Amino acid sequence: MALDNESLDQLIKGVRRFVKERLVPLEAQVAETDEVPSEIIREMGEMGLFGMSVPEQYGGLGLNAEEEMAIAFEMGQTSPAFRSKIGTNVGIGSQGIVLDGTEEQKEKYLPKIASGEIIASFALTEPDAGSDAGAQKTTAIRDGDSYILNGTKRFITNAPEAGLFTVFARTDPQSKGTKGVSAFLVESGVPGLSLGKNDVKMGQRGAHTCDVIFDDCRVPASALLGGVEGQGFKTAMKTLDRGRLHIAAVCTGIAERLIRDSLAYAMERKQFGRPIAEFQLIQDMLAQSRTEAYAARCMVMETAKKRDAGENVSTEASCCKLFCTEMVGRVADRAVQIYGGAGYVAEYGIERFYRDVRLFRLYEGTSEIQKLVIARNMIRGAS
């Protein structure tokens, strides 16, 4: 454990209270305005939430995976837009630097990422490189002591707010596939970097994505992550291993929230003269959701412990991402069903969660990609 039990307990309780008292009351407002209020972002910074996974020596909380997942379960208990604000700093925006950055890069960026002073974003996906992440077309051509970047990144989470991008680009244009891809730390505002307009999405209003466009964007050679070419794809995959586990934990938290709401509604709503919770077909849905959310919590914690023990959890992280993201979809669907007509009406907030959770099966690797990773690792392990 990176924290002693008492400090961890206090942190978890503090986040739980913050979610309940500050975030839940703002859910409808955030959906309506498409903005998380700036004071909420400031408060999340004060609680250290941007720096959960950044080592203490760089100003973060330095949580291990088990502790981070315990907080992610709590942050999952409200609209995912709030978690998304800290999500890239905690996960894909910082972990490339933590895992593979040079000491200089760590010292330069991690303290600002940990405090939330800069939002860190992960620019991997392209118009023609989604699931096939190795098919990067963006290029970074060495020119003296600089690289010149050209290409377009798509659906980049937190790009509109980002101060720093981890950008994946091909340093060896002759190479195909995963080899020849390198990672760069590119600060926003550099000439040649521009943003597209915000994407209009199915849900998760308040969390923003857009294109990031590089047009002869010159960055210093020192922007090359780790100072080594050709390692970018592996950095991306390692980063996603932890990110996928975090998403699984968030989905578990959302499922638990929806189950709580569904149960409360079912116990209050009366039909045929009694609360609908007394009907076995409603109980069937409640019990299925409860069982699946419990399984999700167990597998996330088990994988986090294995990771903290130094084991390679690539397979398990994909198992968690696959199960938990699909699970929360089923739980949200049952929640709509238990609420009945009210589940379809915006005022009750359930239809919003139903739309919000759909994204989890897509980003940080679709369900199909998780299956592919799991099965490939099984075959490799057996041969």
Active-site hit among 68, 256, 292, 364: 364
Residue closer to ligand COS by CB (options 351, 364) is 364
Residue 131 in contact with ligand COS, rule: CB under 6 A? yes
Rounded Cα gap, residues 71 and 230, in angstroms: 34
What per-residue string of b and e applies to 79-102 under the rule 16 or more CB within 10 Å gives b?
bbbbbbbbbbbbbbbbbbbbebbb
The verdict on 30 binding ligand COS (CB under 6 A) reads no
Member of 79, 314, 315, 325 binding ligand COS (CB under 6 A)? 314
What SS3 class is residue 46?
Answer: helix
Q: Write out the two tokens for 278.
A: 């007394």
Residue 238 near ligand COS by CB under 6 A: yes
**Residue 138 touches ligand COS, criterion: CB under 6 A:** no
Reply yes or no on whether 364 is catalytic.
Answer: yes
Stretch binding ligand COS (CB under 6 A), from 12-20, 22-30, 144-152, 358-366: 358-366
Burial 183-221 (b: 16+ CB within 10 A, else e): bbbbebeeeebeebeeeebebbbbbbbbbbbbeebbbee
Please answer whether residues 244 and 236 qualify as being in contact, where contact means their C-beta atoms are separated by less than 8 angstroms.
Answer: no
Q: Which listed range, 99-107, 186-194, 231-239, 255-263, lies at the site for ligand COS (CB under 6 A)?
A: 231-239
Tokens 């590089």, residue located: 214
Phi then psi for residue 146, to 5 deg, are -135, 170
Q: Under the criterion CB under 6 A, does residue 125 sit at the interface with ligand COS?
A: yes
Residue 145: CB atoms within 10 A of its CB come to: 8
Residue selected from 100, 211, 241, 351 as contacting ligand COS according to rule CB under 6 A = 241
Question: For residues 81-120, which are near ligand COS according to CB under 6 A?
Answer: none
* Positive or negative: CA dihedral 313, 87, 231, 65: negative
Rounded to a whole number of angstroms, the minimum distance from the CB of residue 97 to ligand COS is: 16
Single residue of 50, 73, 109, 233 touching ligand COS by CB under 6 A = 233
Strand partners, 150: 139
How many beta carbons lie within 10 A of that of residue 270, not counting itself?
11
- Specify the stretch interacting with ligand COS by CB under 6 A; choose among 80-88, 210-218, 258-266, 367-375: 367-375
Q: How far is the CB of 179 from ligand COS (least distance, A)?
A: 6
- Specify the stretch interacting with ligand COS by CB under 6 A; choose among 5-13, 19-27, 140-148, 236-244: 236-244
- Any contact of residue 365 with ligand COS (CB under 6 A)? yes
Stretch of 36-44, 97-105, 124-132, 198-206 lying at the interface with ligand COS (CB under 6 A): 124-132
Residue with tokens 């849905």, as numbered in its chain: 285
Positive or negative, the CA dihedral 1, 304, 242, 210 is negative
CB 329 within 8 A of CB 361: yes
* 259 near ligand COS (CB under 6 A): no
Quote the least distance from Cβ 373 to ligand COS, whole Å.
Answer: 5
User: SS3 for 212?
Assistant: strand
Task: Identify which of residues 131 and 271 has a Cβ nearer to ligand COS in the complex.
Answer: 131
The answer to the question of residue 363 lying near ligand COS (CB under 6 A) is: yes
Instruction: Specify whether the CB–CB gap between 193 and 213 falls below 8 A.
Output: yes
Report, in Å, the least distance between residue 322 CB and ligand COS: 12
- The least CB distance from residue 132 to ligand COS, in Å, is 6
Q: Does 55 bind ligand COS (CB under 6 A)?
A: no
Tokens at residue 201, please? 């999405």
- Residue 28 buriedness (CB in 10 A; 0-12 / 13-18 / 19+): middle
Among 133, 259, 301, 336, binds ligand COS (CB under 6 A): 133
Phi then psi for 158, rounded to 5 degrees?
A: 65, 10
Query: Of the two residues 32 and 311, which places its CB atom closer to ligand COS in the complex?
Result: 311
Interface residues with ligand COS (CB under 6 A) are 122, 124-125, 131-134, 177-178, 233-234, 237-238, 240-241, 314, 363-365, 369, 372-373
- Catalytically annotated residues: 364
